[in-house]
Amino acid sequence: MEKLGIGIIGCGNISSAYLKAMASFPILDIRGIADLNRSLAEQRAAEFNVEARDIADLLADPAIELIVNLTVPKAHVTVAIQALEAGKHTYSEKPLGINFAEGLKLAALARAKGLRIGAAPDTFLGGSHQTARAIVDSGVLGIPVGGTATFMCPGHERWHPNPDFYYEIGGGPMLDMGPYYITDLVNLFGPVARVAGFAVAARKERTITSEARNGERIPVHVPTHVAGVMAFEDGAIVQIAMSFDVAGHKHVPLELYGTEGTLIVPDPNHFGGQIELLRKGGAFEPAATTEPYADGNYRSLGVADMAHAIRSGRPHRASGDLALHVLEVMEAFDKAAETGAPISITTKTERPAPLSESLVDGRIGR
């Protein structure tokens, strides 16, 4: 299949994972990388043997069909709109935008231009999560009942060299980590119908402890502990907790409950991990991963799937509709916390098709 020209905008922390993983997908032809910080782009270019270019140059290049947008969250929609206006499809790091209104604006522009938008996370396409999807689809859990989704840590200022954006508008544990959990749950259970929730900020500032800026204090502008409930259209009710304020806990990332069984799903921030299945009356037992892309960090699998979809004319899985739905759900927790009432979700999205439908010889596009 003909390669797809790719331009990357944003050369921060996550770009290394993307550039490394993109080598796994022959359809992706990286035509250049760019950043407002030219020296950072040149550093990444030297590291991965690609060309550092100016942003305007990437957007003007007719050989580039898809812009991969790895900027900070508050710039996601601005950069994506620039890409669409330049006639490029665009795929953004999560979240799609920092609020639902700007996500709607982006989706409307893409429709008007006849272009595609996609967004991370794509970890739900990983082998363990696709295997969990197959287990759910098999009916072994019975009627969907509910589940739990848990991410709780002390905060990213412990390790990130520049953690400021995690505590700015567009950051916080829900917009930062919620996309992994909620996207995977939509993959497993389908779309969300209603949300109830609470949100607090335990501290007004945080102290950086990563080396370069150790001891520096940064302000907090967003809730740092969010808890609530999602009611899914299939009837399942899932409790969720996302926090940057918890010293430690013993909850697993994802548990799914049905009338006939329980499924332990591994960390949705990764492509692999151990699945465990309990059938009613029995005990938890390991479930073998049967799908590919569970043995590494394939952060760009969603980009590769989108590229193949563009070439073949089929829907892509890490889609704009999916990301917009997840964005609305995440924002609904803040609205529910403010109003004290459940929030109905207005967007609709289909469960993405199983990745197995696009595999050839066990890999996408082969």
**Measured between alpha carbons, how far apart are the two ends of the chain, in Å?**
9
- Under 8 Å CB-to-CB from 204, ≥6 apart: which residues? 219, 220
How do the domains of the chain map onto residue ranges? 4-119, 124-287
Q: What does the buried/exposed string (b/e) look like for 208-235 if buried means 16 or more CB atoms within 10 Å of the residue's CB?
A: beeeebeeeebebebbbbbbbbbbbeee
pLDDT digits (tens, 9 = 90+) for 125-156: 999 999 999 999 999 999 999 999 999 999 99
What CATH topology corresponds to 124-287? Answer: Dihydrodipicolinate Reductase; domain 2 (3.30.360)
Give the mean pLDDT of the chain. Answer: 96
| CATH number among 3.40.50.720, 3.90.226.10, 3.40.50.10470, 3.90.550.10, domain 4-119 | 3.40.50.720
- Under 8 Å CB-to-CB from 283, ≥6 apart: which residues? none
127, 289 Cβ separation under 8 angstroms: yes
- 110, 53, 55: which is closest to 77 by C-alpha? 110
pLDDT digits (tens, 9 = 90+) for 176-213: 999 999 999 999 999 999 999 999 999 999 999 998 89
Eight-state DSSP code of residue 304: H
- 163, 174, 154, 21: which is closest to 94 by C-alpha? 174
Please state at what angle helix 100-113 crosses helix 76-85, rounded to 10 degrees: 10
Task: Specify the 3-state DSSP secondary structure of 112.
Answer: helix
Nearest-angstrom CA–CA distance, 357 and 334:
37
Question: Is residue 315 reached through a cis peptide bond, with omega within 30 degrees of 0 on the bond before it?
Answer: no
Q: What is the pLDDT of residue 13?
A: 86
The low-confidence residues of the chain, meaning pLDDT below 50, are none
Nearest-angstrom CA–CA distance, 181 and 2:
34
Nearest-angstrom CA–CA distance, 266 and 354:
18
pLDDT digits (tens, 9 = 90+) for 329-343: 999 999 999 999 999
196, 251 Cβ separation under 8 angstroms: no
Eight-state DSSP code of residue 351: P
Q: What is the pLDDT of residue 211?
A: 87
Task: Specify the 3-state DSSP secondary structure of 171.
Answer: coil
Tell me the two tokens of residue 21: 């993983």
310, 27 Cβ separation under 8 angstroms: no
Neighbours of 36 (CB within 10 A): 13
Q: What is the pLDDT of residue 253?
A: 97
Q: What is the pLDDT of residue 355?
A: 97
Task: Give the ranges where the chain is alpha helix by DSSP (H).
Answer: 15-22, 38-48, 55-60, 76-85, 100-113, 127-138, 172-189, 301-312, 320-339
